[in-house]
Structure formats: structure tokens, C-alpha cells
Structure 1
Amino acid sequence: MEEIFKKYEKTIPRKHSISFSPKYKEEFRTFVNETLFIAIAEKTFEKLDWDIVYKDDCSIEAKRKEIGWVNERWTEIITASYKNGIVLVKSESLGSEMWDVGKNSKRVKLFIYAYQETLKTFDNQSLKKLENEVEKKNNWDDYIIPETLPQPTPAKVPNITLPIIGGVFLSLILGFIVAFLSIKGLYIIMLFEFLVATGIAFGMKYLIKLSNYTDFNKLQYLLATMIILTYLSNQYFQYEIILNTNNLERIGFWNFLQIRFTQGFMINKMNLGWIGWIISWILQLGLTAVFAYLKIVTVFTKYLIERVPIEVVDFTYYFLLKDKSEEEIRKELAKKGWSDIKNQNEVFEAVGGWQNATQLNRGK
């Protein structure tokens, strides 16, 4: 951050916010149009050392980074939106804090001050020049269509069989591990759900890559099945471990579950009854599903992007920006050696992957 803004930040009075997601917002007026506003706001964020994560025709977002003891983390997301000369600036806390100690108000007021100071560095002539540069950049007017593109590798036929088989084996392995640790009394709620989700995502990363299967709707069904199978097999493996460890007679898995329901769920020497088991299983499934879904989306998006060279993605995006039809773009790709329909589909999926990556980066 530039020194002038560091000094000003120290003088800003705090306005505290307390809520589940603390935030602060404020409006101001600017005389420039929306194109120039976005351009100057972008320069403002850069001067403040805030990471720009998204921008469109009338709004721009950035995240503020803070260096902690272990690693860097984003602390606030700042959004500036333009409408008819009025700019709404909002700062929202990231993470789990409920009291922002006035930090959001400082971010908003600092941005407004930094924006005004940045705007002062432009006269009418330089503003006009900046507007022309932005319009050329947004329209990709300087993009030079390459004579050649990196050539595609032979596309594998997508096959869901491998993810299904691999997913079943992975679920059973995770179910056994959770069962073993639960019997040993090492189960920690939220931590184990997070670890199970991480294990599922790690396995699915390679299964997706090996199978080249990218139908995300069906992968979601597979993910749900894997989570259910993991915790169902966990109960069965607990049943087997208890019987084998204690040399007990086989009473049947369903009888085992009935006994558990009868004895109730114990937590801190308090018996929550059969409802405790239901709640614990719902929490297991729900937490794992949330963690796993977020991780799978990231893994899936990264795979779509990595399959296709960035030069080919840029080439395709340029023609999309110029309102070319899908058929016309496929013909242009074919001229550059991307004639296989499967490879062309991968290109369009990669473009979508980059758009998804932008949305993920905006996540709170």
C-alpha cells in the first residue's frame, strides 16, 4: 500500500458492526462514466494492494489480504458498484468473526479516499485516453489471431465406470478407517467430516482425470452415493470390529443398530437417546456433503481448465466476444488443428471452467 494511504488509514474513525457477517457500506458521487469508474477503481485497488477477484461493466470486487502467523488469509471483500454516477462501496468480513472491530468501515472510507486521490491524477485529456484504452482492452481489439495453436492430445472417451468402481472402493476404505477410529474413541466431529470430504475429493480428482468424465450432474449423484456408502459401511465395519475384538456371537447387523438405538447416543456422559444417533448421522452426512461439494467443484474446475492450453482458450473466447456462433467457432478451431468434436467440446468446457474459477475466487 502506498504511504499516503497508510497514513490516512490511521486517521479513519471506526464504526463497529456486529452480526453473523459484519459489513459496512457507504455511497459517494463521481462525475465519470461507468467505464472510467471501473478503470480508476481497478487502479485504486492496486494502489491499496487489494486482490481484484471480479469486475464487470458496472461493479468491481477485491479481497484484502492479511499476513498471519502461519499463512496469508483474506479478511474482507470490498465491492464498489456504479449506477448513474452514484457509487455504493461495501466491505464484508470473511471468515467466522461476528464483530469486525470497525475494520469494514475503515476499508470503505479508505477506498473512497484512495479513489478520489487517484481520480485527481487524471485531467480530461488523460481520462479520454484511458477510456479508449479500456474499451480497446474490453473488446480485445489488440488481440492478434495466431497463425497456429498448440495441437490437441487425443481425447479419451468419457467413461463413468471407473469413477463408480473407484468411488465404491474409496468409500469402503474411508468407512473402515472412520469405524476403526470411532471404536478407539478418536472420533472428533467436524474434523473427521472434513477429512472424509478431503479423502473423497482427492480420490475423485484422479478418477475424473483417468476417466475423462465431466458430466458434473452425474458426478454429484455419485458424490452423494459415496458419502452415504461411507457412513453406512462405517456402521457395518464398527459392528464387525466389535464382534471380532470381543469374540461375541453374531447377532445380525440390524439387531446391532437396534441395540444402539435402545442404548442411546452418549456425549459427555449425557444420553441423548435414539434421537442423538439420528442427529449425529444427519450432521455427519450434511457436513461431509458441504465440505466435499466445495472441494469437488474446485477439483472439477481445475481439471477442465488444465486440459486445454490457454492459447486455445483465448482464441475461442475472442470469437465468443465477437458474437460468433458455436458452429462458426468450431470451424475456426478446425482450421487450427482442433477438428475432433471431443477436443472442441473440451475447449468450450475450459472456457466455462475459467468462468467458474472466477466465481469460486469471489466466494465468501
Structure 2
Amino acid sequence: MEDIFRNYEKTISRKHSIGFTPKYKEEFRTFVNEALFIAIAEKTFEKLGWDLVYKDDYNVEAKYKVTGWINGRWTEIITANYKNGNVSVKSESLGNEIWDNGKNSKRVKLFIYAYQETLKTFNIQALKDLEKEIEKKNNWDDYIIPETLPQPRPTKTPNITLPIIGGICISLITGFLVALLSIKGVYFIGLFEFLVATALVFVMKYVLRFSNYTDFNKLQYLFGAMILLTYISNQYFQYEVILNTNNLERIGFLNFLHIRFLQGFIINKINTGWIGWIVSWIIQLGLTGIFVYFKLANALTKYVIERVPPEVVDFTFYHLLKDKSEEEVRSELAKKGWSDIQHQNEAFEAIGGHQNVVTLRRVK
């Protein structure tokens, strides 16, 4: 952050916000059009040292990062919306706090001040030049169509069979490990589910790369089944381990579950009954599902971007930007050596991957 803004920040009077998601909002007017506003707001975020995460024709968003002793974390998301010269600026807390200690008001007031100061650095001619520069950038007028493109790497035809087989094996192994930990009483809500989700996605991402399968919608169902199999097999493996360890007679898995329900779920010496078991299983499935969703989205996004050279992604996006149909874009790719339908599909998926990166960065 530049010194002028750091010094101003110290003079801002805080307005505290309380809520399940604390937020603060103010409005102001600007004489520039929407294109210039977005461009100057971007420069403002840069001067403030905030991370730009999204922009479109009328909105721009950034996140404020606090640097910790291990790594940084985003604490607020600041959104500026332009409509007919009116600008609405909102800062919203990230995380689980219910009191923001006035931080959101500081972010909003600091942005408004920094925006006005940045705008003052442009005279009329500079604003006209900036507008032309924006138009050229948005239209990719400076892009030079390359004579050649990097040739596609050999890839396999996507096949979901291997992910299904791999998913079953990984789920059973994870279920067994979870059973061993559960029997020893090792359980921390949230951390346990996070580790299970991490294990499932970490191993499966290599299976998905090997099989070249990237259909996110179908994979969600596969991972949902994997989560269920993990926790169901966890209960069965607990049953087997308890019987074998204590040299007990086999009573049947269903009878084992029935006894557990009768004994109830105990937390800090408090017996919550059979409802406790149901609630704990719902929490396990829900938290694991949430963690898996974001980790899978991250892993797939990274893969679909990495497997296509950036020059090919730019080439494909340029022709789409020029309002060419999908068939015309495929024809242009074929002229550059990307004639295989699968390789062309991967180029389109890579563009979608870059869009997913923006979506994931905007998650609150």
C-alpha cells in the first residue's frame, strides 16, 4: 500500500458491524463512464495492495489479505458496483466472525478515498487515452495470430471405468483407516472430514489424470458415492476390528449397528442417544461433501488448464471473442494442427478452466 493511503487509513473512524456476516456499504458519484470506472478501480486496488478477483462491465471485486506467520488469508471482500454514475461500495467479512471491529467500514472509506485520489491523476486527455487503451485491450486488438501452435500431446479417450474402480478401492482403504482412528477415539469435528476429503481427492486426481476424465457433473455423483462407501465401510471395518481384537463371537453387522443405537452416541460423557449417531453421520457426510466439492473443482481446474499450452488457449479464446461459431473455431484449430476432436474439446475446456479459477477466487 502506498504511504498516502496508509496514512489516511489511520485517520478513518471505524463503524462497527455485527451479524452472521458483518458488512458495510457506502455510495458515491463519479463523472466517468463504466469502462473508465472499472479501469481506475483496478488501479486503485493495485495501489492499495488488494487482490483483484473479478471484474465485468459494471462490477469489480478484490479481497484484502492479512499476512500471518505461516501464510496469508483473505479477511474481507470489497465489491464496487457502477450504475449510471452511482457507485456502491461494499465490504463483507470472510470467515466465521460476527463482529468486524470496524474493519469493513475502513476498507470502504479507504477505497473511496483512494479511488478519488487515483482519478485526480488523470486529466481529460489522459482519460480519453485510457478509454482507447481499454477498448483495444478488451477487443484483443494487439493480439497477433501465430503462424504455428504447439502441437497437442497424445491423450487418452476419456473413460469413467478407471475412476469408478479406483474410487471403490480408495474409498475402502480410506474407510479402513478411518475405522482404526475411530476405534481409538481420535475425532475432531471438521478436521476429520477435511482429512478424509483431502485423501479421497489427492489420490483420485492422479487416477483422473491417467484416465483423462474431466466431466465434473458425473464426477460429483462418483465422489458422492465414494463418500457414502467410505463411511459405510468405516462402520463395517469397525465391526470387524472390534470382533477380532476382542475375540468376540460374530453377531452380524446389523446387530452391531443396533447395539450402537441402543448405547447412544457419547460426547464429553453426555449420552445423546441414537439421535446423536444420526446427527454425527449427517455432519460427517455434509462436511466431507463440501470439502470434496471445492478440492475436486480445484484439482480438475488445474488439470484442464495444464494439459493445453497457453498459446492454444489464447488462440481459441481470440476467435471466440471475435464472435466465430464453435465450428469456425474448430476449423481454425484444425489448420494449426489441432484437428482431433478430443484435442479441440480440451482447448475449449481450458477456457472454461480459466473461468472456474475466477469463480473459485470469488468464493466467500
TM-score of the superposed pair, with normalisation by structure 2? 0.99
* Deviation, structure 1 residue 189: 1.9
2:83 maps to amino acid:
K
1:191 maps to amino acid:
L
Instruction: Measure, in 2, the Cα distance between the counterparts of 1:183 and 1:62.
Output: 45
Q: Does residue 52 of structure 1 match 2:52?
A: yes
State the partner residue of 1:265.
Answer: 265
* Deviation, structure 1 residue 98: 1.2
State the partner residue of 2:77.
Answer: 77
- Deviations for 1:29-82, whole angstroms, at most 9, x for unmatched residues? 000000111111111111101111111111111111111122111111111110
State the partner residue of 1:3.
Answer: 3
SS, match of residue 57 in structure 2:
coil
2:100 maps to amino acid:
D
Instruction: Measure, in 2, the Cα distance between the counterparts of 1:189 and 1:106.
Output: 34
Which stretches of structure 1, 4 residues or more, deviate above 6 A after TM superposition? none
1:233 maps to amino acid:
S
- Deviations for 1:288-317, whole angstroms, at most 9, x for unmatched residues? 111111111111111111110111001111
* Deviation, structure 1 residue 274: 1.1
User: What does 1:296-311 align with in structure 2 at a 5 Å threshold?
Assistant: 296-311=296-311
Root-mean-square deviation over aligned CA pairs: 0.8
* Deviation, structure 1 residue 123: 0.8
Q: Does residue 176 of structure 1 match 2:176?
A: yes
State the partner residue of 2:185.
Answer: 185
User: What does 1:237-252 align with in structure 2 at a 5 Å threshold?
Assistant: 237-252=237-252
Q: Does residue 290 of structure 1 match 2:290?
A: yes
Preserved contact between residue 227 and residue 289 of structure 1 (Cα < 8 Å): yes
User: What does 1:1-364 align with in structure 2 at a 5 Å threshold?
Assistant: 1-364=1-364
2:117 maps to amino acid:
E
Instruction: Measure, in 2, the Cα distance between the counterparts of 1:236 and 1:306.
Output: 40
2:12 maps to amino acid:
I
SS, match of residue 10 in structure 2:
helix
Instruction: Measure, in 1, the Cα distance between the counterparts of 2:67 and 2:353.
Output: 29
Instruction: Measure, in 1, the Cα distance between the counterparts of 2:273 and 2:51.
Output: 50
SS, match of residue 296 in structure 1:
helix
SS, match of residue 11 in structure 1:
coil
Identity of aligned residues (%): 76
Ranges in structure 1 where 5+ consecutive residues have no aligned partner: none
Instruction: Measure, in 2, the Cα distance between the counterparts of 1:265 and 1:358.
Output: 42
Ranges in structure 2 where 5+ consecutive residues have no aligned partner: none
SS, match of residue 78 in structure 1:
strand
Instruction: Measure, in 2, the Cα distance between the counterparts of 1:101 and 1:201.
Output: 37
1:86 maps to amino acid:
N
SS, match of residue 91 in structure 1:
strand
